[in-house]
A and B are shown apart, each in its own frame.
Chain A
Amino acid sequence: MVRVILRRLIQLVVTLIALTTLVFFWLRSLPGGPVDALLGERATPQTRELLTRALGYDQPIWVQYGRFLKNVVTGNFGNSIRTGEPVTDVISRAFPATVELSVAAIIIAVGLGVPLGYLAARHRGRLLDNTTIIVTLVGISIPIFFLGYLLKDWLTQGLHIFPPSGRISTGMDNTDVTGFFVLDGLLTRELDASADALWHLVLPALTLATIPLAIIIRITRASVLDVLDEDYIRTADAKGLRNPTIRKRHVLRNALLPVVTIIGLQTGALLAGAVLTEKVYNWGGLGTLITDSIGGSRDYPVLQALILLAAAVFVVVNLVVDLSYAIIDPRVRVR
């Protein structure tokens, strides 16, 4: 088990080094180089000269690369072009918002997806199963921003059930501890703030959860059907075990294996979905930060940090998935 973790950690480092290198050369391959990118087209040659020296671009490329790596390791990503703040500040403000949204989406997707997929499998070929198949197909096919606008228009403008945008009501005087508003409210006992943040979270999380939810339902259903045909389920039946025991102990645990893999892959895709979802609900997270950093003046320092962060999150999530895989399936542990 320890070896599995160690090996994955090494993979994590290698992946990040590869990506850092890619980002480094990408920045230097930009038209006119990073200096033009930073200063824009109308800068004077003097300013250009000054910045080139200030940023060390007159040094040999391997010296630049070494310093770049050092900066990355020490978390020094420079300042945002748009706001002038340190990149780390900008990102650490937006990061909790996206994590909060993504975690809520995963909880919805897994919490509903596994039971629904299981139910569909048990009702195979009957009404519930067929309905599930059609609804999940719609869920996978629907563009996420369209679904976002649909929910928003019907449930906020139309029925006024949920707030239309933002993470918390204006004027809600909440204390910022972790940046996760729902959690902060609980920690500081400002339960009204917590509830309000949760209320704001419902629609964006639902929107973001739709695609992974539909996929998890389908995978769970297929996986349960496979497991029900296995010989060891027949053995469990031959032992006279009661149905709930068979389901919980024998069916579900085996059926979850492919589902866990999918959860890992979907978590990576969640970031892409977050860009659109955050746009629709004006959610101040990484998605918004990405669109803001690309549009208008290209905010390269921020983008560069975002790329590395996204990669790191993906690799870490997959590490967690692999570890949970090893916990569920003893056959993985020996390898």
Chain B
Amino acid sequence: MPLLDVRDLSVVFNRRGTKPVTAVDGVSFTVEPGQTVGLVGESGCGKSVTSLAIMGLLPRRGNKVTGEVRFDDTDLLKLRPQDLRDWRGRDIGMIFQDPLSSLNPVLPLGIQVAEVLERHQGRTRQAALREARGLLDAVGIPDPQRRLKDYPHQLSGGMRQRALIAIALACKPRLLIADEPTTALDVTIQAQILTLLKELVDDSGTALVMITHDLGVVAGLCDTVNVLYAGKVVERAYRHHLFAEPRHPYTDGLLQSVPRLDVDRGRRLHQIRGSVSDNIPWPEGCAFAPRCDRVIDDCIGSVVPLEPTFRGGALRCANPVPLEVPA
């Protein structure tokens, strides 16, 4: 049984005075215990909203969330808000994109780590702070005893993200959701944080949902990858299959637009035409069709379904990139 089973999750922003916007449109995916799953896509494809919807962190006003988020066979969307609070931080941890703004500026770091232990494991402040020291040590923060009393502005960007990871993993959750955890960091720090995350989830057996726009992050970390476009999963594949033989023209375009060292200098980098806003509504065809090089008649006019592939993945495309047939 999967640890997390997201079924047909949809999020509609319905604010007064504006047209409803479907940010997440029937997304389904599963995460097995200990597995690392990537949600990939460009800005606005719905990947962050998906993660916030799973955690129940979307504002209740103006948002309509439908579908199922089964965690350990409990539908989190059906829980009362106060009951969901028992799960968050204890069974599911989350880390965010901007480590500075994600930490409370007026509280010492120690308390921000300790409070999650006090809340879920009934520790006293004293015991929780002792444990927090060990957690900061485990995420590679030097001199943790002193850092407990430090405030977020006294830490470097990388250390802040390490602290957030310590907070998210404090209660040894079974699932960690990382929403673009390295986007706000220097490239060198990015690598450190990714290595740390990988070590931590490997050691603890925590499952990880990695949300990113960075295919490099996916390549180094994820077991399976879900590529999102305009709120829908367009391709799902095991990492090796996805990188070796992308089937969806969008995935293919993304991969080709990554600069590579083994390609001749001076060759123009591939780019995908247009922007995310150039799309057609999913019920009337493929949202990617206006930007797609492989568009055919079948792409427009009818719903393009997500169909399983023989390699255990799934694909939503009427004219996929053909597999290379061995000679």
Contact = CB atoms under 8 A, between A and B. Distances in A.
A13 B165 CA distance: 49
B172 interface: no
B105 A254 contact: yes
Contacts of B151: 330-331
Interface in A214-265: 230-232, 234-243, 245, 249-250, 253-254
Interface in B39-88: 55, 57, 82, 84-88
A249 B107 CA distance: 8
Contacts of B55: 238
A329 B152 CA distance: 12
Contacts of A235: 96, 102-104, 164, 167
B85 A240 contact: yes
A240 B88 contact: yes
Contacts of B96: 231, 234-235, 238
Given A232-B105, A330-B153, A239 B57 contact: no
Contacts, number: 82
A249 B115 contact: yes
A240 B106 contact: no
A328 interface: yes
B173 to A, nearest CB: 10
Interface of A: 230-232, 234-243, 245, 249-250, 253-254, 328-331, 334
Nearest to B89: A240
Interface size range on B against A = 20 to 34
B195 interface: no
B105 A331 contact: yes
7 contacts: A231-B96, A238-B94, A239-B115, A240-B86, A242-B85, A249-B107, A253-B107
Contacts of B120: 240
B153 A241 contact: no
Contacts of B168: 238
B101 interface: yes
Given A240-B116, A249-B107, A249-B115, A234 B89 contact: no
Given A241-B116, A242-B119, A331-B153, A236 B104 contact: yes
Contact of B101 (A232, A239, A331): A232
Nearest to A332: B106
B192 to A, nearest CB: 21
B239 interface: no
Given A238-B94, A240-B87, A330-B105, 16 more contacts: A231-B102, A235-B102, A237-B57, A238-B88, A238-B89, A238-B93, A239-B115, A240-B85, A241-B85, A241-B116, A243-B82, A245-B115, A245-B119, A254-B105, A331-B153, A334-B154
Contacts of B85: 240-242
Contacts of B164: 235
B180 to A, nearest CB: 12
B213 to A, nearest CB: 19
B75 to A, nearest CB: 18
B115 A241 contact: yes
Contacts of B98: 231
B106 A239 contact: no
Nearest to B86: A240
B248 interface: no
A322 B29 CA distance: 53
B90 interface: yes
A237 B88 contact: yes
B311 to A, nearest CB: 35
A243 B106 CA distance: 18
A250 B88 CA distance: 17
A238 B105 contact: no
Interface string B290-305: 0000000000000000
